[in-house]
Structures are given as structure tokens and as C-alpha cells.
Amino acid sequence: MNLRPPFGSARVASEDRAGAILTVDLKALVENWRILKKRARPGCDVGAVVKANAYGLGLEPVARALTQAGCSTFYVAHLDGAIALRHIVGPGPRIACLNGPNRGTERDHVAFRIMPVLSTPEHVAAWRTYALKEEVLLESIVQVDTGMNRLGLSEKEFVQLMGDADGFVGLHPQMLLSHLACGDEPGHDMNRQQRDRFIARLGEFRTRFPDAKGSLANSAGLLLGPEWHFDYARPGIALYGGNPFVSGANPMLPVAYLRARIIQVRRVDTPGMVGYGAAARVGEGAKLATVSMGYADGFLRSLGQKGVGLLDGLKVPVVGRVSMDLITFDITNVSESAARPGNFIEILGATQTVDQLSAQAGTASYEILTSLGDRFHRRYLPA
Ligand SMILES: *Cc1c(COP(=O)(O)O)cnc(C)c1O
């Protein structure tokens, strides 16, 4: 054995070294994209939102699988994500950068053919100045606010720019975009209101740019029905298996499977307390399993005393607080053969879904997925 530097790489496989294993089913991901495509109005381009490292599941494998399936429009939040994506998918696919161009980044948008989403008068002015100075044709997307007050030109700003003959000069907007605030609640009034406002703005916009396309729907918007689809749909969470609606059956297939390794199994011989803060009490005879995963891996601390795992088909509750690298579960009812160090407790899967876990944590599936850490062994099942 060589115990001196250089030590070389680890001898044991990554999956045997890791505390937890994240499996991403790329076949299910692609199938989810196809399910959405079938639901979409004919002619509507169904793209993929791959911001935040493809919702925590890995930009590269996700983007490759979707590109191979025929997806040709991608949406990311930041320019760095967009550039990374361009290297992955090659020159063909459209890439839109949702958070817009930071000052001075126009050159990189042009070099990597990234379409910025222009959401403020400052974005529009900077893009116009650059286009006129460089005399280049720069494609872009214009975002209008239709009721969310988060990002996008207000009605007043939009009208002002439309009224100014030079307002949009130099811009070659391919698309007018807006975002739904309450798409996940199908009965919410906002959905209809935002759609009607969007139709009005798109109509005005097309008096200047007759070929401009419209894009309003996220995952939930796609499932609301064809009146919300327009020309480009931007699903995210549904691709990754999350339920786009706050309640009701989930039409999507699970994509992420996460299991954490049991390090210690303890039969409690004296009644006592568990974990930091001595926040939970256990009685004699209780059986506890501590796994090699914690809030540093995205198992949110708010799941303390609330989260549930699955072992040998049985639900096992979290006991006490979640530590940075450890979680203790009550496995009293689990058989001897399953309750062994080296076995795994299922954290996410087909029966313990990302929506269930997020409900236990009091958050949204989005936060569970995008919190997933980088200490897992990641396994990708091919599309
Ligand atoms: C994140 C995002 C989406 C995707 O939303 P999902 O609810 O995950 O489908 C679409 N459009 C914009 C502007 C977004 O920020």
C-alpha cells in the first residue's frame, strides 16, 4: 500500500464511498417531456427549463438526454449556466437566459448565441445601444409583467417603449414572454386575467413585430389547457417528476431516487433522548437507525421530527433534529434483516415522492430538488 504522496485516486468505487446515492432516471425525464409535448397545442414548441443545475439533477446529463429526444429550446437563469449549456448541446438549440443580461455581457450573449430575456427598460436600452454600436443582429426575448410584479416590463413601461419609434430599435425580439403567478392552482382567477393581459400585449407587440411568438406557460400552464400555450412552453418541475399542481393526482413520472446508507442501528436499552437539543425522547426497546446524510445534503433541517423515510416498504419517521451529516430514524417496526448497517433508507422514490417530502418539510418540491447536495454518488439511468 502506498501511504506517501502522491496518494493517487481512491481505491474503492464512488458509490461505496458515498453516504447516499442519487439515481436520476433519464428515461422517465424524457418520457415526461413527451407527455407534455402530447398535451401541447399543435405547433407549440415544448422546451425545457434547466436552471439551477436542471433543478438539482445535473445540467449535463439532463440537457443531453432532452436534446437527443428532440428538445430544441432551453431556458436557464444565468449567463454562466447558458454558456455551460451551449458547450453541452452544441450550436443548434435555442438558449434563453431568463434573468436577463447583466451590464456589459452583451458580447458573451452574442458569442454563445444566448437570447437574453429583456425585462426592464434598462435591459432594452443597453441591448439597443449595443446592437446599434456593433451593427449586429441580436435576437432577444422581451418579458412583460402581467400581474406578478416580479420581473418584466410594466404595462406603462411597455406602452412607453411601444409609443417611442426608437424604443425597440435594433432589437430583434423573437418572443414576448410572461410568467404565471398561480398556474399551480387551476381554478385561480389570476390565470385567466394574466392570459387576457398577455393576449392584449402580444397583439400590440405584433403590430410592430408581426413574427413575434408568445410564451406564457410553465409546467402548470401547459396543463391548464391550450389557451395558455401560445408558441413556446417552458416546463421545468414537471420534467423532473414534481406535481405541477398544488393538489390532485400527479400525471408525471418520478425521476429522482435518493437513498441514504445506514451507519448505525441501535436497540435502545435505557429510555433517553435523541440528537441535538435532546429534542426527542425514545423508550426502551425502540430501534433507531442513523444514516449518512443530513441537511448539508439537502435533507432540510425543517424535516426534524416531521420527515419520513422508507425501509423495507415501511414508513420510518425522523426522530429528533436533522444534523448536518446525519439523520436518525425510528425503525422499531422493521425486520431484523432490513435493519442493518450498510442497508439504505429510501428518501425519495416512487412511493416517497418529492411532493410528499416537500409537504413534510412545509416547502415546495422545487426547493427539495434544488437543495440536493453534491456529496451523493450520482447514477444516471440512460434514456
Ligand atoms: C422557473 C421558470 C419556469 C419553469 O417553471 P415550472 O413551474 O418549474 O414549470 C418557466 N418560466 C420562468 C420564467 C421561470 O422562471
Q: List, run by run, the mean pLDDT of 10-residue segments along the chain (383 residues).
A: 80 95 98 98 98 98 98 98 98 98 95 97 96 89 97 98 92 95 96 98 97 98 97 98 95 98 97 96 97 98 98 98 98 97 97 96 98 96 97
User: So what's the pLDDT on residue 194?
Assistant: 98
- Decide if 319 contacts 328 (C-beta within 8 A): yes
Nearest protein CA to atom 3 of ligand 1, as residue: 218
The number of residues making up the chain comes to 383
User: So what's the pLDDT on residue 3?
Assistant: 72
> Annotated active-site positions, please?
51, 276
d(CA 236, ligand 1 centre) in Å? 6
Q: What structural domains and CATH numbers belong to the chain? A: 26-240 (3.20.20.10), 256-381 (2.40.37.10)
User: So what's the pLDDT on residue 135?
Assistant: 85
User: So what's the pLDDT on residue 260?
Assistant: 98
d(CA 347, ligand 1 centre) in Å? 25
Burial 10-35 (b: 16+ CB within 10 A, else e): eeeeeeeebbbbbbbbbebbbbbbeb
Query: What is the number of the ligand 1 atom nearest to the C-alpha of 237?
Result: 8
User: So what's the pLDDT on residue 7?
Assistant: 87
d(CA 332, ligand 1 centre) in Å? 42
Is the beta carbon of 236 within 6 A of some atom in ligand 1?
yes
Is the beta carbon of 47 within 6 A of some atom in ligand 1?
no
Is the beta carbon of 235 within 6 A of some atom in ligand 1?
yes
Is the beta carbon of 234 within 6 A of some atom in ligand 1?
yes
Integer angstrom CA distances of residue 247 from 140, 194, 203, 242, 348: 36, 21, 34, 11, 19
